[in-house]
Amino acid sequence: MSSMLRLVILLSVAFSICSGSAANAQTDLTRAYRVIASKPFVDLTHSFGPDTPVWSGFGQAKFSPAADPKTHEPYTIPKDGFRTTYYEMVGQYGTHVDPPAHFAENGITMDQIR
């Protein structure tokens, strides 16, 4: 990951945890950035493809050319000026967070976690 992208991510996270007036926000943002920047950075990104290991209850992901819903013809660069891929998969691949609602009928969802 480039240092510029890392800085943008760090500043975005720092800004999102800041609160209060604009005058305090700069101080809070600076303090938050210093705390975050002092921590080790671990890049958890990884390649994803049809051979990515997955729990057998979900089945493998499927990849195919995306098609026009009217004609069912795949989009192509010569014909449409672009191409794109249709992905069929569950949302529980790789590193993710399971909110309590994933396992509990009345559990809270991600947007309720504070």
Q: What is the dihedral of CA 25, 28, 34, 37, to 10 degrees?
A: -70
Binning pLDDT at 50, 70 and 90, where does residue 72 land?
Answer: very high
CB 91 within 8 A of CB 54: no
Q: What is the pLDDT of residues 9-54, one digit of tens each?
A: 666 666 665 545 555 667 888 998 999 999 998 887 877 788 888 8
What's at 80, amino acid-wise? D
Residue 47's pLDDT is 79
Q: Given CA atoms 79, 81, 83, 84 in this order, what sign does their dihedral have?
A: negative
